[in-house]
Structure 1
Amino acid sequence: MSVVIHSRRLYTALALSVSTLMSLPGAQAETSIRPPAQSHKDWLKLKSNELLRGEIKTLYDDKLEFDSDELDTVMIDWEDVKLLQSAGTVSIGFTDLSTRSGKLLVEDGRSYLDGVEFDPGQIMTIIAGEQSEANYWSAKISLGANIRSGNTDQIDYSARAKTTRRTTESRFNADYLGNYTKSDGTSTVNNHRVNSNFDWFISKQFYVRPVFAELYKDPFLNIDYKATLGAGLGYNIIDSKKTEWSISGGPAYTYTRFDQVETGAKPHDGSASVVLETVFDTELSGDVDFTTKYQLQYSSEDSGGYSHHAIASLSVDLTDIFDLDLSVVWDHTGNPQAGSNGIMPDKNDYQFIIGFGIDL
C-alpha cells in the first residue's frame, strides 16, 4: 500500500512541477515568438523556431538566399522555412509561369500576397523588389593554374565560366571551357569551347529551344574552329528540390575549318548534323553539388562523324561565394582529320581540372 501511495505522490509532484514550469514567463516563448506585423526589415523563421531579421534576396531551385543582420548571407532549404515576411515588395514567379509583385507573408503552410491568400505550392521563384534585369542574371567563374620553373618551364591554365539569365518564362545559358599549356616555350595544349542556348518554357517541364550554338577550337585535333548552329526541343525529366535532369536536342548545321590539311584535301567542310544533350544536377549534401553534362553530335565523316563532349563536376562550397571545383572531361571525335604532316590526331582527349570558383 505504501508503494502505491508514494507512487501517487510522486506522480502528483511531477505533474505539478511540469505545470509550474510551463506556466513560467518565457517557457513557451520559443513557439509563440513572431516578428512584428509592421517592420522595415524582412523576417525569416525556421521550423526549428530560429528567427532571423534581414533582407530577402532570392528563392531559386528551392534555395532561399537571406541576408541576415547577424549571420550575413545564409542559404536555407525552402522546406525548412516556417515563416517568411517581407517588409517591402517582392516579385514571385509561379509554376504556371506567371509573375506577380507585392508584400509577401508565408506562415505555417499558408501564403498571402498583399493580403490575398494563394497556394504556397505555386511559388517557383522569389526576387526582392520589382522585376528588374539585374535580378535575372547569375554567373560563376572557376580558374586553375600551375606554373613551374627550373629544369622545365611550364604553365598550365584552365578556366570555366557560366552565365545564366533565368525568368519564369525563359532561360539563357552561355558556357566557356578553356585549357592552355606551354612547356619550354612550346604550346602543347590549346583548346577552347563556347556553348550557348536559349529556352522558352511552354510548361514547367517542356521547353522550346529556338537556337543553340557551339564554337570549338583545338589545333592539336586539327580543328582551327568548328561552329554549330541549330534549334530543338527540351524536357525536364526531374525537377525536384535537390535534383534536376533534362534532355534536349534537335537538327543543326556544322561548319569545320581545319588547322592544316594534306595536299589536295579540303580545308573546310559543312554539313547537316543532329545534336543531343542531357544535363544532370543533384545536391549530394548542403555543401556539395554534382553535375554531369553529355552532348553528342552526328555530322558528316569529313566533319568528324560521331563526336561527344562529356563533363562531370563536383563543386564543394568553401564559403558563401568561393567553391572548390573538380572536373573530369572526355572529348571524343570518331573521325579526326590528318594534318599536313599526315599524322592522325587521337580520337580521345581526357582532362582532370582542379579550380577555385567564384559565384557572382
Structure 2
Amino acid sequence: MKLQATALFFAICFMQSSAFAKEQADKPIREEPNSQTVYFEKNDDWVKLKSGEVIKGELNGTIKKDSNSYKQEIEFDSDDLGGQEIELGNIQELQTASYFTIRLSDGAIYDGYLSIRNDQLYLSNAEQEVSFPVTEVVSIYRGKEKGSEQWETEFTLSMDMSSGNTDELTLKGAIDAVLYTVDSRTKLNASHEEKESNNEKTANNSSIKGSYDIYIDNKLFFRPLDLEAKKDEFKNLNYKVIASIGVGYFFISDETTKWDVTAGPAYTHTKFITVNEGNSLTENSGALKLDSSFDYELTKNIDFSYDYSMNWENEESGGIHHTNEVGFDIDLVADLDLSIDGIWEHVSDPTADSDGKLPEKDDYKMFVGLSYEI
C-alpha cells in the first residue's frame, strides 16, 4: 500500500513539473532592454526624452526668440549631434547647470536654475522655487533677466544687371537687426538703393528706421518710440522724418505663422529738394501711422513675408503713403538665403520740383539677392 502511494505521489509531481515546463516554454521570451551609463560633467545640461533617449550639451533657449511666440520648442546644443530642436511635450526630464529667465503666457517673468519633470517646469534661486506647466511657458532665455538679450541680424545684398538696348545696374544693400529681451523688442533697419540706366542715374534713395516695443501681455504691446528718416532724389525728397507712437497686437503667433499690427498718431517733417515758386520748401504735419508685419513658414526651407505700412499726412506733405513689400527667403546653405523681394510704393500727392516735374505716384521694384543671418 505504501509502495502504491509513493508511486502515485511521484507520478503526480512528474505531471505537474511537465505541465509547468510546457507553460514556461509556451511563454514568449522577454529580452531585457540594453542599458548604459551616461556620465555628466558639472557644467553639463542634459535632457531625457520620453522615447528614452538622453542628450547632453547646452540648452540655448526657445527656438523663436520672441516673447510672444507660442512655438513650444527649445534649441539644445548637443556635444555630439549639434543643434537639436526639441518639443517641450517630448521631454521627460531636463536638468540645467546655468541660470535662465522665462516668460509665461500671463506676462510674468521668473529666473533661476531650470529643470523640467513630468511636464512641469521648475525654477529655483536663492529666494524661492516655483513651478509651472510647460504649456504656460512662452519663452526661455539663457541668463538673468537683465542679461537675457538676444540679437538677430540679417545682411542683404541685391543686384540686377541688364545689357543690350538698355544697360542697367541696380544695387541695394540692407541691414535688419532685432534685439529681443524677455519684456521688449527693438527693431532697426537701414537700406540704400542706387540704379543706373545707360550711364544715367535713375534711382538714389536711403532710409533708416527703428522702433521699440514693450510687451504688456502675451498679445498686446506698446510702442513708445518709432522713428524713420528717408530721402529720395527722384521723388523730390531731400528728407522726411516721421515720429510716432502706437499700440500693437499679435493676431497670430504660432509655430508657422506670425502677424502683428501697430497703429498710432505720428508727426512728420518734410523738406523737398526744389519746389515751384511760392510754395514752401518744408512741411510739417500730424499723421496717422499703420504698420502690419506677416510671416509664414511655407516649407521647412522657404519663408514668406508681407509687410505693409501706411502714413496718412496732409496733402502738402504727400498725402497718403502706402508701402507693400512681399518677400521669399529660400534656405541655401547654413545661414545663407536667397532673397526675392517685390515692392510697391504709392504716394497720393507728390510734390512737383521747381521745373514743374511731378514725380510718379507709384513705384514698382523687384530685387533678387543674398541674405546672411547672424
**TM category, shorter:** 0.7 to 0.9
The equivalent residue for 1:94 is: 104
Quick one: structure 1 residues 350 and 153, their matched pair in 2 at CA, closer, same or farther if it must change by over 3 Å? Answer: closer
The equivalent residue for 2:20 is: none
Question: Offset of 1:219 from its aligned partner?
Answer: 1.0
Q: Could you tell me whether the CA contact under 8 Å between 2:141 and 2:182 is conserved in 1?
A: no
Partner of 1:220, secondary structure, is: helix
Question: Offset of 1:275 from its aligned partner?
Answer: 0.8
Alignment counterpart, residue 57 of structure 1, candidates 45, 54, 60? 60
Q: Which amino acid aligns with 2:31?
A: S
The equivalent residue for 2:357 is: 343
Q: Quick check: which has more Rg, 1 or 2? A: 2
Structure 1 Cα separation of the partners of residues 158 and 48 of structure 2:
39
Q: How many residues align?
A: 341
1:109 equivalent to 2:123? Answer: no
Greater Cα offset, 250-259 or 139-148? 139-148
The equivalent residue for 1:6 is: none
Question: Offset of 1:40 from its aligned partner?
Answer: 2.6
The equivalent residue for 1:84 is: 94
Matches within 5 A, 1:12-23: 16-17=27-28, 20=29, 22-23=30-31
Alignment counterpart, residue 187 of structure 1, candidates 188, 193, 201? 201
Structure 1 Cα separation of the partners of residues 290 and 339 of structure 2:
26
Q: Which amino acid aligns with 1:258?
A: F
The one-character-per-residue Cα deviations of 1:298-334 (angstroms, maximum 9, x if unpaired) are 1111111111111112222334422222211111101
Structure 2 Cα separation of the partners of residues 328 and 238 of structure 1:
24
Greater Cα offset, 291-300 or 57-66? 57-66
For structure 2, the residue ranges without an aligned partner over 5 or more in a row are: 1-22
Structure 1 Cα separation of the partners of residues 297 and 87 of structure 2:
11
The equivalent residue for 1:7 is: none
Quick one: structure 1 residues 83 and 291, their matched pair in 2 at CA, closer, same or farther if it must change by over 3 Å? Answer: farther
Q: Could you tell me whether the CA contact under 8 Å between 2:162 and 2:168 is conserved in 1?
A: yes
The one-character-per-residue Cα deviations of 1:176-205 (angstroms, maximum 9, x if unpaired) are 233212345432211222222112222111
The equivalent residue for 2:3 is: none
Q: Could you tell me whether the CA contact under 8 Å between 1:198 and 1:210 is conserved in 2?
A: yes
- For the aligned residue pairs, the C-alpha RMSD in angstroms reads 2.9
Q: Could you tell me whether the CA contact under 8 Å between 2:190 and 2:207 is conserved in 1?
A: yes
Q: Which amino acid aligns with 1:213?
A: L
The one-character-per-residue Cα deviations of 1:204-239 (angstroms, maximum 9, x if unpaired) are 111222121221211111111111111121111122
Matches within 5 A, 1:1-360: 16-17=27-28, 20=29, 22-26=30-34, 39-45=42-48, 50-59=53-62, 60=65, 61=69, 62=71, 63-76=73-86, 78=88, 81=91, 83-114=93-124, 116-133=130-147, 135-146=149-160, 155-183=169-197, 185-360=199-374
Q: Could you tell me whether the CA contact under 8 Å between 2:310 and 2:323 is conserved in 1?
A: yes
Question: Offset of 1:339 from its aligned partner?
Answer: 1.9
Q: Could you tell me whether the CA contact under 8 Å between 1:275 and 1:296 is conserved in 2?
A: yes
Question: Offset of 1:47 from its aligned partner?
Answer: 5.8
Quick one: structure 1 residues 304 and 14, their matched pair in 2 at CA, closer, same or farther if it must change by over 3 Å? Answer: farther
Q: Could you tell me whether the CA contact under 8 Å between 1:73 and 1:320 is conserved in 2?
A: no
Q: Could you tell me whether the CA contact under 8 Å between 2:102 and 2:182 is conserved in 1?
A: no
The one-character-per-residue Cα deviations of 1:150-199 (angstroms, maximum 9, x if unpaired) are 99775421122211222232221112233212345432211222222112
When normalised by structure 1's length, the TM-score is 0.83
Q: Which amino acid aligns with 1:126?
A: I
The one-character-per-residue Cα deviations of 1:4-31 (angstroms, maximum 9, x if unpaired) are xxxxxxxx999844xx2x42342xx6xx
Q: Could you tell me whether the CA contact under 8 Å between 1:256 and 1:303 is conserved in 2?
A: yes
Q: Which amino acid aligns with 2:58?
A: E
Greater Cα offset, 125-134 or 293-302? 125-134
Q: Could you tell me whether the CA contact under 8 Å between 1:98 and 1:168 is conserved in 2?
A: no
When normalised by structure 2's length, the TM-score is 0.80
Structure 2 Cα separation of the partners of residues 196 and 329 of structure 1:
20
Structure 1 Cα separation of the partners of residues 163 and 263 of structure 2:
46
Q: Could you tell me whether the CA contact under 8 Å between 2:194 and 2:204 is conserved in 1?
A: yes
